[in-house]
Amino acid sequence: MQHNKQQPMATLSRRVLLVLWWILLLLSIAVLIGSLLCFGENAFAQDAPTRHLAKITGVVRDASTRESVAGANVIVLGTNRGAATDLEGRFVILHIQPGTWSLRASAVGYTPQTQHEINVSPARPARLEFLLHPSAVESEAVTVTAQQFQVSTPEMPTSVRNLRYEEVRRAPGAVEDVQRAVRALPGVVSDNDQDNAIIVRGGDASENLTVIDGLEVGNTNHLTIGDEVQGGGGPINALNTEFLRDVTFASGGFSVRYGDRLSSVLDLELREGNREQFGGELSLSMAGAGAYAEGPIQEGRGSFLASIRKSYLDLIPEESAGVSSWPAYWNGQFKAVYDITPRHILTLNGLYLEDSARNDPPDPDEEDENADLSVGIDALDLNTTRYLVGARLRSLWGPGYTDLIVGRSFAFNRWNYYSQIQTGEDEHTLRKDVANRRTLAHDQFHLHWVGRGFGEDRLSAGVTFKPITYHREAFIRGDSILYNDDFLGPDPGNEPDVFRYDDQVEDVREIALQYATYVQYTWRPLGSFDLTAGLRYDDLDFSERNALGPRASLSRRFLPHWSFNAAWGLYY
């Protein structure tokens, strides 16, 4: 294999990906220009005082049943603006000054909820979803005080932080990366600034669980060093921050719904695309160049979000930059939501990321004349591909709702290590000395049911099935090792001992089935007291191990700004 030759298929693949990237980029520019033109026409048709005002839309639902809450009041704190929800729980607040606001939703029989750091602008109206928890109806007048921070769910009362899109975007040093924003929370540390992997209370990065709209994912970072399949890290996250709606991070005490992890749970809920108009955005940063677009499906019956991002440093010639190679990466993400019926909502999610890097040896003709080329000059060829694809069907059934989730998380990693050897007086070639290929696929099936128990109590249960496929191929070329210790016996020629080992070849294929089931009940005798108890069972046939994990949590709010929280459980 000549070091100055490239594989035809690899070159073709790069060209195809580059063409697809430019096509999507041009389409995004066209959508953005069209949206701006439409916005401009509408703006001139309006009166001057309201031309640059924004609006806020959203829906208010019951947290236990996901039923719409009609007649709820939604107000913009600090203003006289507000609206009431219609029969479908939807609201629209018009003529809002652009900026960052806090909104509060309240309804009879529910605990009010406040959402902070809501960024609104004329170009992109904010769309919110309030999930209100039932509470006892008081016959006397009550005073409601807005909470400074979003209250965590009764299922995870301890060591939980809730973040929203605007908080992640403006987090100092996070560079709009959700994992880097989480690193600033208590109990979380990192190895270095070049790696955004999180370490929670001394645990390994693979002990953290990441969930996107109910789908369990592995590593979502580019240029991973170490474990590229589970957990791990990397300097750049492939997740688009513009997709985020709510971020819930639990560094301990998480409920029985989450299993097979010891350290933390990062639960990401993605927002829907705009159901009223098309829009988009172009971006350029050190992380790469990209674009995203959003808009309605079938006249607002659904919506979509799509984005793509690609590195551009690899387009700079290595010689002019004084480096041996540039890593290249690109990623794409999409989300589509469609209302099959008012009570059955289908959500599709997808994430794809690919990395590649090749470090070629320098030209032997440019090397020092005294250099010994026979000892070899190393070269490295690396390629990583990962994707997540899945669907969620949410159905409302009166006393509760179900989430039926199917998907696949796939990771592929290949790297080859070469040595440059001299084959003639002026001829050199690359010899593959080490090769490694690893594939890990997690198919997943989840069924969750959440609903009301007795009175204001809450009941949830679910099952999970995850077939796992693992394949690893490895090759290590045989070589000779020289020793000067005469261990192999005296040598009359006074030459060093020689030990030679053969080529090592490994091909491992494994298939396993992991499944789990859980049930949980939240007892709420008072509006300020929650006692949650649950039981989870996990089994992995590959290791022939199973685990029964009971968990419990307690939350008691005794002052407007004070609460006592405790949690206990067994985690495996």
Per-residue pLDDT band at 530 (split at 50, 70, 90):
confident
Arithmetic mean of pLDDT, 511-528: 90
What DSSP state is assigned to residue 68?
A: B
pLDDT of 518 over the 90 cut: yes
pLDDT of residue 487: 52
Classify burial at 48, counting beta carbons within 10 Å of its beta carbon; exposed 0-12, middle 13-18, buried 19 or more: exposed
pLDDT of 482 over the 80 cut: no
pLDDT of residue 47: 43
How far CA 572 is from CA of 175, 177, 323, 539, 549, in Å, comes to 34, 29, 45, 11, 8
Q: Where are the beta strands (DSSP E) in 16-98?
A: 54-62, 73-76, 82-84, 90-96
pLDDT tens column, 109-128: 888 988 888 888 887 778 88
Q: What is the mean pLDDT of the chain?
A: 80
- What phi and psi, each to the nearest 5 degrees, are found at residue 185? -80, 155
Q: Where are the beta strands (DSSP E) in 223-343?
A: 236-237, 244-250, 264-270, 279-285, 288-297, 302-310, 328-341
pLDDT of residue 8: 46
Arithmetic mean of pLDDT, 439-461: 92
How far CA 182 is from CA of 82, 198, 219, 227, 450, in Å, comes to 32, 8, 15, 20, 28
pLDDT tens column, 125-174: 788 889 888 876 554 554 544 444 444 565 666 778 888 888 888 877 77
Q: Which two tokens stand for residue 274?
A: 């705009």
Contact 155, 221 (CB under 8 A): no
Share of the chain above pLDDT 90, in %: 32
Nearest-angstrom CA–CA distance, 27 and 292:
10
Query: By mean pLDDT, which of 230-239, 335-344, 411-420 is the weakest?
Result: 230-239
Contact 218, 206 (CB under 8 A): no
pLDDT tens column, 54-89: 888 999 998 888 888 999 999 999 888 899 999 889
Per-residue pLDDT band at 232 (split at 50, 70, 90):
low
pLDDT of 4 over the 50 cut: no
3 state DSSP class of 27: helix
Per-residue pLDDT band at 26 (split at 50, 70, 90):
low
Torsion of CA 188, 192, 197, 201, to 10 degrees: -30
Arithmetic mean of pLDDT, 439-460: 92
pLDDT of residue 323: 59
Most confident option among 316-320, 326-330, 398-402, 511-515:
511-515
Contact 372, 364 (CB under 8 A): no
pLDDT of residue 41: 45
- What phi and psi, each to the nearest 5 degrees, are found at residue 35? -65, -40
Q: How far apart are the first and last CA of the chain?
A: 48
Q: Which two tokens stand for residue 1?
A: 């294999």
Q: Which two tokens stand for residue 409?
A: 């998380």
Share of the chain above pLDDT 70, in %: 77
Contact 362, 328 (CB under 8 A): no
Per-residue pLDDT band at 48 (split at 50, 70, 90):
very low
pLDDT of residue 216: 93
pLDDT of 211 over the 90 cut: yes
Closest to 133 (Cα-Cα) out of 557, 559, 568: 557
Half-sphere exposure of 222 (CA within 13 A, CB side): 25
Arithmetic mean of pLDDT, 95-121: 88
pLDDT of residue 1: 39
In 10 A of CB 487, how many CB atoms?
8
Per-residue pLDDT band at 492 (split at 50, 70, 90):
low
pLDDT of residue 198: 83
Q: Which two tokens stand for residue 100?
A: 């960052």
Arithmetic mean of pLDDT, 484-506: 64
Q: Which residues contact 447 (CB under 8 A, 6 or more apart)?
A: 402, 403, 404, 405, 462, 463, 464
- What phi and psi, each to the nearest 5 degrees, are found at residue 26? -65, -40
Q: Which two tokens stand for residue 404?
A: 């039926």
Q: Which two tokens stand for residue 524?
A: 């709420």
pLDDT of residue 3: 42
Contact 360, 331 (CB under 8 A): no
Contact 72, 108 (CB under 8 A): no
Nearest-angstrom CA–CA distance, 572 and 560:
36
Query: By mean pLDDT, which of 113-122, 178-187, 231-240, 428-437 is the weakest?
Result: 231-240
Tell how many helices (H) and how many strands (E) occur in the chain.
4, 32
Arithmetic mean of pLDDT, 543-571: 88
Q: Which bin fits 31, alpha (ψ -120 to 50), beta or left (φ > 0)?
A: alpha
Query: By mean pLDDT, which of 27-36, 269-278, 341-350 is the weakest?
Result: 27-36
pLDDT of 546 over the 90 cut: yes
Arithmetic mean of pLDDT, 383-399: 92
Arithmetic mean of pLDDT, 209-229: 80
Q: Which two tokens stand for residue 479?
A: 């070589």
DSSP-derived secondary structure for 443-471: EEEEEEEEEE-STT-EEEEEEEEEEEEEE
pLDDT tens column, 307-336: 999 988 777 776 665 556 678 899 999 999
Nearest-angstrom CA–CA distance, 416 and 15:
22
Nearest-angstrom CA–CA distance, 108 and 144:
12
Q: Which bin fits 505, alpha (ψ -120 to 50), beta or left (φ > 0)?
A: beta
Per-residue pLDDT band at 182 (split at 50, 70, 90):
confident
Closest to 109 (Cα-Cα) out of 147, 157, 149, 72: 72
Per-residue pLDDT band at 32 (split at 50, 70, 90):
low
